[in-house]
Each structure stands twice: as C-alpha cells, then as structure tokens.
Amino acid sequence: MADATPAVEICGLVKDFKTSFRRQMLRAVAGVSLRIEAGEVYGLIGPNGSGKSTTMKALLGLVAPTAGTCAIFGQDSLRVDSRREVGFLPENPYFYKHLSGAETLRFYGKLCGMRGRVLDDRVSELLALVDLESARDRRLGGYSKGMLQRIGLAQALVQDPRLLILDEPTAGVDPIGSRQIRDLIFKLRERGITVFLCSHLLEQVQEVCDRVGIIFQGKMVKEGRLEELIAIEDQTEIILRDASPDLVAQITALVADSPGAAVVRTGKPRTTLERLFLRETLRDDP
C-alpha cells in the first residue's frame, strides 16, 4: 500500500523580511500553498525575486515562516528531525575547497550519523552515480563548475533521503554537465525519490517535471500537471516521416473539406540548439 503522506505540504506560507529601513517589511512569499506527492518531480518556476528560494529555505527551516506551515513527510520542517529525509543542493554551492570529493561526502555522511563500512560503501556508490570516481581524491578547489554541481548532488543524496530539493541545479553548467544532471534526476525518479526543483531553464523543467508551479511576486499563479498546463486543447499534432508533397497536399485538402477544422501550420519540426550541441560534441564518445 502506498504511503499517503505527501512528501511536501506547504500551507499558506507567508514570509516577510525587514528591509534596511526598519518598520518597512518586504513580503517575499504571500500565501503559497503546494503539495508534492511522494515520487513526483515538481518544478517551481518564476522570475528572479519571485520567492522561489525563500519557499525552499522555509521548507528547509533556514528561514522561519511569518505565517503558514511547511511539512516534510508529515513532519514540521522547523524540526531538525525532518531533515533526515531531505537532501539539498543550493544554487551555486561552494563546498570546502580543502577537502577532496570523497572527504566531502564522508563529512556530510558523518553529519547524518553514518560511520564505517556503510559510509565507505555509500561514498563509492555516490561517486559512481555522479561519475566522479576518477576525481574522488582530488581537492574540490580543482573541480570544474559542473563537477561541483555533481558532488553537490552527491552530498545531497548521502543519507539516502526520500526528498531532494534542488535550487537551480544546472545554473552555470555547460550543456553536457546540464544533461548529466538531468539524467541523474531521471535516475532518481526511477528510484522513487521525490524531487523538488526550481530552475530558470524552462525547457529542462518541462523535460523532467511531472508537475509545475509558477510563482510570481510571491504568489502561486498557476499549478498543475505539466501535460495539462502546456497542452493546447483545441489543436492536434500529427508528425509524419518521409511524407511526399502529394500526401501533405491530400491531408491539407481533407482538412479544408472538414467544417470547423483548419491547418494551422505545416513544415519541418526543428530540433533544439541544445540537442544539436550535444549531438555535435558527443559524437566521438563511445
């Protein structure tokens, strides 16, 4: 029987910050509510300063809500125990440069109470997962941006959390690194891990998320299943391979004969610049 407790439940979250001029309050989040079921990949999107990061920080207990509640698997997120179930990757993280990749994971693992063989095995497993086995003993000061993001993802996963919170996981990462992180999110979804991410890269959100929320000026303005949100209900798409011009003409004529129907556009579908880049740069890879 599946666990009915949602992975994340935010109810009426309000967060005010004091500005430098006392008495003036800045409302960063204004009554946001959302619910993420276990196993879902949820994307929170919105422009800069819309309240995405504050919502995530409230969920992690890094800021206290002015009003409303946040819960992780039913536990109040202000309780330290609730963080046993959470892994977090902040935007542009800088880990301790004096530690190697393996030492970094060992440090975070020990913070979660892991020791000995269990920890050693977990460190090796995670380094393999994020493809950093060859850099396990290299200090983080020598890591590239993409490698730092991947070791950050590994530290977030060290205690095998059921919920992963990613704040701009691909910020500043090149398309190949970005693709690797996206593939990792797919792998995590297959394992049943709930992922809550926010990103500016809307195409990526569209590719990996089951549900999406759009936040603007601290308020949730749209939320729902991705396919429902982006589908254009009154249009139908047919993509043909090796269709002759005659066939296209026949189909167009057929549509023209149907009352109320119209051909909106015909032409060749385009790939994305990212796919083109990846195809060109990874073509020599085995």
Partner 1 sequence: MSPTPVSPARSNRGSHCGRIAVIATHAFTQLVRMKVFYFLAVFAVIVIGSNFFDLPQHVGPESAGINVLNSIKNWSIGMMSLFSVVFAIVATALLLPKDVEDRTLYTILAKPVPRIDYLAGKLLGVLLLVFVSLALMDVLMTVVLQIRTSMILSGQMEMAHSRGWPAAEIASLRADILSQGPNASLQGAVWAVFLRASIMASLALLISTFSTSTLFTSITSFLVYFIGYFQADARDVFLESGTAGTGWLARTVSLVVSLVLPDFHLFNVIDAVIQGQAMPLIRLGELTGIGLFYAVFYVLASWFIFAEKEF
| CA 176 – CA 227 distance, rounded (Å) | 26
- Report if residue 94 touches partner 1, rule: CB under 8 A: yes
Chain residues 46-75 in contact with partner 1, contact rule CB under 8 A: 57, 60-64
| CA 162 – CA 72 distance, rounded (Å) | 10
Q: Helix (H, G, I), strand (E, B), or coil: what is residue 75?
A: strand
The angle formed by the CA atoms of residues 52, 54 and 57, to the nearest 5 degrees, is 115
Question: Which residue number, 59 or 185, has a Cβ lying nearer to partner 1?
Answer: 59
C-beta atoms surrounding 270 within 10 Å: 8
- Report if residue 42 touches partner 1, rule: CB under 8 A: no
| CA 91 – CA 94 distance, rounded (Å) | 9
Smallest separation, CB 190 to partner 1 (Å): 16
For partner 1, the binding residue among 42, 108, 143, 196 (CB under 8 A) is 108
Which region among 154-162, 193-201, 214-222, 247-255 touches partner 1 (by CB under 8 A)?
154-162
User: By C-alpha distance, which of 91, 92, 98, 89 is closest to 154?
Assistant: 89
- Report if residue 161 touches partner 1, rule: CB under 8 A: yes
Cβ contact 226:209 at 8 Å: yes
Question: Which residue number, 12 or 113, has a Cβ lying nearer to partner 1?
Answer: 113
For partner 1, the binding residue among 109, 146, 169, 177 (CB under 8 A) is 109
- Report if residue 227 touches partner 1, rule: CB under 8 A: no
Contact positions vs partner 1 (CB under 8 A): 1, 3, 57, 60-64, 80-81, 83-96, 98-99, 107-115, 118, 122, 152, 155-156, 158-161, 165
